[in-house]
Amino acid sequence: MKKMILSLGFILIAALSFAQSQELPTTIIRDINGKQIAFNETVEKGKLTLISFWATWCIPCKQEIKNIKGKLPDWQKEVSFNYMTVSIDDSRATAMVKTYAKSQGWTFPTYVDPNSDLKRSLNFQNVPFSIIVDQQGKIVYQHTGYEEGGENELFAKIKELNK
C-alpha cells in the first residue's frame, strides 16, 4: 500500500511538472487574414505572453477579452508582456471572427483554429481557456472558465512570473 501511494505521488508530481512547463505545439493556425503560421511562432521569445482562447458564440469569452482589453494599457505599463487571442470557431465562422475583432477595436494579434487542431494539441475542452507562456516559450499556467474579475487573477499570475 505504501509503495502504491508513493508511486501515485511520483506520477502526480511528474504530471504537474509536465503541465507546468509544456512546450508550445507547432500546430498550424491562421491569422484573421488567412495566413498560416505555426502556433509556437506566434509568441515572442524572451517575453511573457497571455493567450485567450475564445469563440464568437461564447459570451464569457467575449466579456473576458473586453475586460482584458480595457486594462491592457495600464497592465503593460507595469509589466512587459504580450497578449493575443485564438478563436476556436469553425471554418464557417472565420469571417465573423475578423468582423467581431475589428468591431471591438482589437489591436492585439488574433488567430483562428478552424479545425480545432490546436485545441486538440493543447488538450482542452471548453472556452474561455487562457494560458500564459513564459520567456522560454513554455506554457507555465492555464485556466479554464471566466467569472467577472478573473482577468485580475491572470494579471497577478503574470506579475508573479515576471520576477
149: domain CATH number is: 3.40.30.10
Give the integer Cα–Cα distance in Å for 64 and 134: 21
Give the integer Cα–Cα distance in Å for 21 and 137: 9
Q: Is residue 60 part of a domain?
A: yes
- Residue pair 63/30 in contact by the 8 Å Cβ criterion: no
Give the cell for residue 9.
Answer: 505521488
Q: Is residue 13 part of a domain?
A: no
So what's the pLDDT on residue 48?
A: 97
Mean pLDDT of the region 127-138: 97
Neighbours of 28 (CB within 10 A): 14
Q: Is residue 97 part of a domain?
A: yes
By three-state DSSP, how is residue 133 classified?
Answer: strand
Neighbours of 106 (CB within 10 A): 17
Burial group, residue 7, by CB count within 10 angstroms (0-12, 13-18, 19+): exposed
Domain total in the chain: 1
Q: Is residue 3 part of a domain?
A: no
Tens-digit pLDDT profile for residues 28-86: 999 999 999 999 999 999 999 999 999 999 999 999 999 999 999 999 999 999 999 99
Burial group, residue 85, by CB count within 10 angstroms (0-12, 13-18, 19+): buried
Task: Report whether pLDDT(154) > 70.
Answer: yes
Q: Is residue 77 part of a domain?
A: yes
The pLDDT confidence band at residue 163, using thresholds 50, 70 and 90, is confident
Task: Report whether pLDDT(20) > 70.
Answer: no
Q: Which domain holds residue 64?
A: 24-161
- Residue pair 54/65 in contact by the 8 Å Cβ criterion: yes
80-76-60 Cα angle (round to 5):
115
Give the cell for residue 11.
Answer: 506520477
Q: Is residue 35 part of a domain?
A: yes
The pLDDT confidence band at residue 1, using thresholds 50, 70 and 90, is low
- Residue pair 32/110 in contact by the 8 Å Cβ criterion: yes
Q: Is residue 12 part of a domain?
A: no
Q: Is residue 58 part of a domain?
A: yes
